[in-house]
Structure formats: structure tokens, C-alpha cells
Structure 1
Amino acid sequence: MTRLRNYFLTGLVITGPLGITAYLTWSLILWVDGWVKPWIPIHYNPDTYLPFAVPGFGLIVSFFTLTMIGFLTANIAGRTLISYGEQILGRMPVVRNLYRGLKQIFETALSQRGNSFKKAALIEYPRHGLWAIVFLATGTKGEVAHLLGDDRELVSVFLPTTPNPTSGFLLFVPRADILELDMGVEDAAKLVISAGLVAPEYQKKTRALADDARAKQADKVPAPAIEHERESADSPAE
């Protein structure tokens, strides 16, 4: 019975992540198809000519459409059209604030030059002696930095909640109170999502153990060149 239980748990560990990943991927494909396929003309939709639905065709069409929009807006005519559209949106009282905020979020999150969420760190939260994982966003700027700086460098950090890291708190913390971690953002996110059950391997400790093993191996097996030099030094000169 113990072996059967171990075999069952092993199979669950193997198939569980695969099944959930496949389910989420398939759900995403069907969700995109449900949004895009109704806008595709009937003559260009393969579902019209085939006896079964083609999954993923809407995802391909959306990817191609977004790529073409990016290509067309990269030239002068496209940028001019976008600027006119933004001017029109800028005159709408409620829509302009929503559009500007969303645009700034997308540009910051998708920009390759941004430094957002490149490091994970620890801060004392919610009180002294308790520590929480945060993601470093950027240096605090603007009015907040002016009012709270007080000759201290402040960092804007995101404190995720467990087990849902998409929600959390924006905190402005002095850099001196931040302990940066060697683990990556993905490993820190796994630690938050699993509520501490999945801890990443400590790379520095592993590297130190590997270096010690190499040093011991080198001490056991001396280099041939060193042995040859020793023999030459011990032999009498002719």
C-alpha cells in the first residue's frame, strides 16, 4: 500500500502541472478565438469549409493583426494618425485619464529598456521583525520623492499578496532598508504563490559546495606538469 501511494503521488506530481498547463493554454486559445472569429469574414474563415472548428485560427489572426498595426504605425503617416487620435481622446474628460494610465502601464511593462521587476528583495513588513518579499520597480520620482526623500534614496516596490501575486501594495521604501535577493523574480513569485512551500535553491551555497568539491579533487589529483617539474628539480644536473 505504501508503494501504491508513492506511485500515485509521483504520477500526480508529473501529470498535475502538465494537465493544468494544457488546460490554461487551451482555455486561452478558445477565449481568443471566441473574440476574434466573429469578426473574420465568412469567406476567410476555415470553419466555413471544414466540418470541424479550427482551434487557434483566431489567435493567429490576432497576432498577425497586431503585428501589422505595429508596422503601419511605425512610419510617419501612422504616427501622425495616432497623434490625432490621442488629441481627440485628450479632450474627453474621463476617457483621457483612463487611456493615459493604461498606455503608461503598457509602455512600462512591455518596454525592453525598462528596469521594472528585475530584482526581488526583502523588507520589514508589516512591522519590525517580520519580513516580506517585494519586487523592485524603479527609483521613486516626482512629488513623492520630493516630500519623502529627505536626503534618502527611495525605491518604489511592489508587495505581492499570497497566493495571488497579481494584487498587492505599492510601497516607497528607503534603499537602506531593502535587502536584495540573489534569486530571480520568477523564483520569488513561486515562493509567494506557494506560500513558502516551494523554495528556490540557494545558488551561492550550491556554488560554494561545487568549488569546495573541485578544490578537493584538484588536491587529490596533481597536474602532470607539476609532477614533471618536481622530478626535474630532484634529478642532479648534468
Structure 2
Amino acid sequence: MKKYLIAGLLTWLPLAITVWVLLWVQGLLDGVFRMLLKVAGVVLPAGAAEGLSQLGAWPGVGVLVMLMLMLATGMFVTNIFGQWWLRQWDALMSRIPIVKSIYSSVKQVSDTLFSSNGNAFREAVLVPYPHAGSWTIAFVTGKPGGEVASQLGEEHVSLYVPTTPNPTSGFFLMMPRSSVRPLQMSVDEALKYIISMGVVTPPAGHAHGPEEADPNPVG
């Protein structure tokens, strides 16, 4: 009986978690959509506002509208005219007290993480952490700069060490480049390895342990 229950749990658990995540995303986008409808209700005439408010009652409409809005925004800001308006918007937000600190910080981090030209979170490496002889997987986020780089002396790399099973929290480390061992596994494989607490291992030939790791530092 126990074997059958575990087998049934392992069969349904991935589907249940997938549905839960999708419903959470839908609820988040629907909430943002309803908030935009409230703002539109204040600006638009009463008749138009009433018609728009009825859209918020349909589940899933907010997801579709928000996706179309993000797509249209992306198409707009990627041309010269849209980039000019984006610069004006950034300049406006940078003049508002308190808001400018939050907005500029979030924009800088998001531009770094999601830029197609950036190197953040595009490489998984093996590092000695939390002490010598103990190893964990980290992600290269860049290089230290400014005063920090001048104080460190030899070349270092910036690393993000995620916690398990929740990789959204973790630790920021700066380690000598010579102490970092590159891994052949992709970022997705490394995340699965971390989230599963080592249960889901990458395919053979895509990863190697500390003994078989490439002795050459990250290039």
C-alpha cells in the first residue's frame, strides 16, 4: 500500500505544482489587470469605464491582455521613437524622491540580468563553500568593480550561491578566479540539481565533481 501511495504521489505531484504555479501567475496578472481597470475607470467616461470593468470578471482575460500589453510595449520601445520616450520616462522617474532610488536600482538589476549582451547567470561553476573541502554550485554574475576590485588585488569573480530548495534566496560572494571551477552543465541543469537537493543529476558527461573538474580557471 505504501509503495502504491508513493507512486501515485510522484505521478500527480509535478502536475499539481505546475497547475498551482500557473494559477498563481494568472492571479497575479489578473490582479494587475483589475488595478489598471480601476485607474482607467477614474480617467475614462462612466459608460466606457463600466464596459471595461466587466472584463475583469472573466478569469484569464487579464493574462491575455497583460501579455498583449507587454508585447506591444516591447515592440514600441525597440524602435527609435520608443527609445526616446523610454529615456524621457526614465528621466522623469529619476526626479521623484524615494521613487528614483527604488526605480533606478530595480532597472539596473533587471537590465543586467535580462540583457541579451550580459553574462549574468549564463554560467554555472563549482566553488568551495562554505569551507575548504566542501563544494557547491554557484552562478557567475560578473566581476567586482570600482573600489572593491582595487581592494581585492588579484582577479576575482562575482558569484551567486542559491539556497536549496528555494533558489530565489542565496548569498553573494566574490572569490578568486583561480578558485572557481567551470562546469559543462547548463544553467537549467544546475538549477534542477540545486532545487532537487542533488536528487536530479545532470546527464552523464555534462557535469564533473571536484576530483574530475577542469583544473583550468574560468576563462
Distance apart, 1:103 and its partner CA: 0.7
Q: Which residue of 2 aligns with 1:219?
A: none
Match of 2:51 among 39, 43, 51: 43
**Matched ranges for 1:136-155 at <5 A:** 136-148=140-152, 150=153, 152-155=154-157
Alignment gaps of 5+ in structure 1: 206-238
**Residues 113, 121 of structure 2: 8 Å contact kept:** no
Q: Which residue of 2 aligns with 1:166?
A: 168
Distance apart, 1:156 and its partner CA: 0.7
**Matched ranges for 1:1-238 at <5 A:** 4-40=1-37, 41-44=49-52, 47=55, 53-148=57-152, 150=153, 152-203=154-205
Distance apart, 1:47 and its partner CA: 4.8
> In structure 1, what is the Cα distance between the partners aligned to 2:184 and 2:80?
44
**Residues 124, 139 of structure 2: 8 Å contact kept:** yes
> In structure 1, what is the Cα distance between the partners aligned to 2:188 and 2:77?
33
Distance apart, 1:135 and its partner CA: 0.8
> In structure 2, what is the Cα distance between the partners aligned to 1:36 and 1:15?
31
Percent identity between the two aligned chains: 35
Query: What is the aligned-residue RMSD (CA, Å)?
Result: 2.4
Distance apart, 1:38 and its partner CA: 4.9
Secondary structure at the counterpart of residue 174 of structure 2: strand
**Residues 55, 61 of structure 2: 8 Å contact kept:** no
1:24-57 Cα deviation digits (max 9, x unpaired):
1022112211220353444256658xxxx53221
Larger Rg, first or second structure (1 or 2) = 1
Secondary structure at the counterpart of residue 202 of structure 2: coil
Q: Give TM-score scaled by structure 2 length.
A: 0.78
> In structure 2, what is the Cα distance between the partners aligned to 1:169 and 1:157?
8
Structure 2 CA distance for partners of 1:179 and 1:10, relative to 1, 3 Å: same
> In structure 2, what is the Cα distance between the partners aligned to 1:204 and 1:156?
23
Q: Which amino acid aligns with 1:43?
A: G
> In structure 2, what is the Cα distance between the partners aligned to 1:23 and 1:130?
35
1:182-234 Cα deviation digits (max 9, x unpaired):
222222222222222332332259xxxxxxxxxxxxxxxxxxxxxxxxxxxxx
Distance apart, 1:85 and its partner CA: 2.9
Structure 2 CA distance for partners of 1:204 and 1:159, relative to 1, 3 Å: closer
Alignment gaps of 5+ in structure 2: 38-48, 208-219
1:137-186 Cα deviation digits (max 9, x unpaired):
123333222221x2x32111101112221111111111110111222222
Q: Give TM-score scaled by structure 1 length.
A: 0.72
Q: Which amino acid aligns with 2:203?
A: E
State the aligned residue count.
196
> In structure 1, what is the Cα distance between the partners aligned to 2:138 and 2:62?
37
> In structure 1, what is the Cα distance between the partners aligned to 2:28 and 2:143?
37
Structure 2 CA distance for partners of 1:75 and 1:131, relative to 1, 3 Å: closer
Between structures 1 and 2, the one with greater helix share: 1
> In structure 2, what is the Cα distance between the partners aligned to 1:204 and 1:197?
15
